[in-house]
Structure 1
Amino acid sequence: MIPVRFSAAQNKAREVLARHRYSCIFGGTRSGKTFLILRAIIHRALRAANSRHAVLRFRGNAARASIALDTFPAVLQRCFPNLHAIEHRQEGYFEFHNGSQIWIGGLDNKDRVEKILGLEFATIFLNEASQIPYSSAIIAFTRLAQVVPNIAQRAFVDLNPIGKNHWTNRLFIEHRDPITLLPLRNPHDYGSARLNPLDNAHNLSKEFLESLDNLPERQRKRFFEGVFADEIECVLWSYEQIAACRCSLDDIPVSERASVVVAVDPSGAANSQDLNADEVGIIIAARNRNGCGFILDDRSLRDAPAVWGRTAVQAYHEYCADCIVAESNFGGAMVEAVIRAADPNVPVRLVTASRGKAIRAEPISVLYQRGVVRHAGRFSLLEEQMCRFSSHGYMGTDSPDHADAMIHALTYLLGGENGVGIIEFYKHANEGTISAGRRTQTASQNTDCAPVIMRAPEAAGIIFGKSGCQYVPGTDGLVDVRYEDVAALESIGFIDVKSMFEDKHDIVT
């Protein structure tokens, strides 16, 4: 028999299960989540005679196949080899010698649900909760009411995480009510732990771990990294798009680097323990001789100015950079002084972020769409922040410090210091754009109605109409709009130019 041992992360998850009334273990596939929870439930059943414990999945047949016939017997064999459980299959539960019962069922069969949830339980376990509606979870949690000696009532949840709007993320990570979105009145009752396949590597094959590592990016995030994904409309970047831009450092050798910069997006962090402050974004990027951009490294950190200054200067020397590009909005003189304190001879170029984050990000996202930018490696935090940008703005709850530094670096390398080159490239990169930056109707977009010329509100970026058409206002703020999209765009501040001028021909194009 293979001895049972737990990794540090698995032991932390066990502590969470013991500490909170409601616990969620989320993460990648085959990380040991269900095994740990079933083991804890069996321990609880043995400690409290005549106690009842429910293991529920959304589908009853999946509960039997996955739990009753697979994981439950495996836990008994490996952790309780001398324990005998009597199965009452017709009733749907296993019983131990002390009278404790473990019920296993699904929430899809009305009769079975009423039978199970007509009882009170000391433990409720919602397995694969990504498939379970919150309304069903609420009903199940109301049955967490059995009072027995030696153990407290506990509700366990596990899942491979999906979107951040899922009730498990709202409840256990954000500590907000999934319906009202208000903060929980008892957040201390809710705990969570994240487990991934690497935390269970001692029970998995190297080949299996490699297969997960090689999944398409979105699936890799869920099943290998075990993270809740952003659910954002009109995103500027997607995980799949970034994955398609990935390469290795060998694709951009030193001899092919026409220019290298270290970009810094400073913050007000006092030290590494200042968790209320944002990180300092430090990105190293290069341009090759063909005009393509490469992200070489991410040295972002949260620490005192003296520390991040040394980090930026060290990266400057390590990558033989041309200069350090730093955002001046957060005290330009201070930023330059911090860098020069680490090395007075390093050239510093200060840039001002005068436009909104989405406006600055959009031209760079077009470069990615055209395959002009590559990532020489995997930069998880940077890429997560990139995928939270939409045409409506940055949708993350944290600051896009890594992404801001990346945008500064690529704007400097590929568009000139004032960014004009990128804006021009951005306009021409959109099919149908003319010299004034207005979007025209292409053959695939022909309509019986002539396009309506509209003026966009100030600082408007990429806009998607109800027709699915993408609109890019020119530098003059004008854009040609399909007739069916006019009303929707007017509702967000676009103006039909006809209402501004008596004669349409008075417009300068």
Structure 2
Amino acid sequence: MTVTDLRSRLSGLTDAELDLLEERLRAKLWQKRWDKWTPYPWQVAPQQIETLGWWLQLGGRGTGKTDGCARYMVEHVNGPACDPRLKGGHRMAIVAPTQGDAVEACVNGPSGLKGHDPRVVLRTTSGGTYARWPSGAEAKLFGAHSPDDVERLRAGGNRCLVWMEEAAAMRRLGAAITHSEMGLRIGPNPHYIASTTPKPRTELIELTRRADVTVTRGRTRDAHHLPQEQRDKLIQKYAGTRMEKQELDGLLLEDIEGALWTRTRLDSTRVGAAPPMVRIVVAIDPAAKGGDESDEMGIIVAGIGQSYIPDRIGFSRRHGYILDDLSGRMSPEECMRKAAQAYHAWKANVVVAEVNNGGDWIGTTLRQIDQTVNYKTVTATRGKATRAEPVAAIFDQLAAHVVTSLPELEEQLTTWVPGDDSPDRLDAMVWALTELMLAPAGNLAAVA
């Protein structure tokens, strides 16, 4: 049949017939994609997941964790109805570090729901953002970053399945689990699936020790869908390091011998909200060579509280609080813009930036972006371990606290060993607490 003949036949169809043809073609395309999928062993779900239990995929980069969970959710939608009274039989939830991550990775991305079922559509209404199927089944999308995200989860409605994407990267992982679990009430077997590169989060460690959690693990070296050259280069670059074990082999590392901070210590000092502050700083640890975007810029917001509170030995002092972590890979201009925004948003007293490591550009760039920011530089005259140890001691004295959770910063704190290159977020936090609690000019810490 020629193209002309095909167009002629299509033009003779009614709207209802065209809709039916489109539906059948979509179904064939979905079936073709569905049949082509070849899973890795760790992408194969357990035959049975207990009620309120978990299937947890821990894997290195490129091991298809998102892909496996998306496949599972599509299978779930096309399986028996969890509640026949519901249109489509299923109401599910997808929780990611941010709602944007849920949209990009879990729905629209090449490994997301649309990659397994092209019939999925994304809809945003006054009630939220949803992935929906023609049957009427739906998955509501949530983030786990801000207090507002937690409130949305609290009021998120009842669900039959919850997918936690990159769980270890969620700033409010504990609250996300608590509030989503309260809503797992639809059907005879509501449960979780989760996909994440492992990081030393207390909640994640506790999950792996539960009897109702099935854990599958994948390694980058075994991810044959990735080009062999790429796998070889990653393994060669990180061979023998913690990064290889965690980011490539998918191992969940707990406390590291020799690290100045431990997960237990951070948990023991953690607070759910910051008290009133007497002074706030935004500290910057710049990337080398004026902001190579392959390196991260460390930007940490910290404050010192108004109240005098006993520390570990009963000594009354003002305590330090790590309020926010805005670090990331960015240009010098974006870094200064983000620091200036944080300065105003937190009503900070000063922006503090290290200038040892090619950071002379910081002051110039900041002045070009916002001349109203109070800015000072600091220069390291001691080694990084020597600077970090007094700050770690403040945590040991129970006088410094992480507010809620800051997963990327906490990972650096609990995995850095003196002698290794100190990472950006850790350095910025050390500068912040040094300015607030240890520097002679800014020391508001101790009273008898």
Give the greater-gyration-radius structure (CA).
1
TM-score by length of 1: 0.40
TM-score for the superposition, normalised by structure 2: 0.45
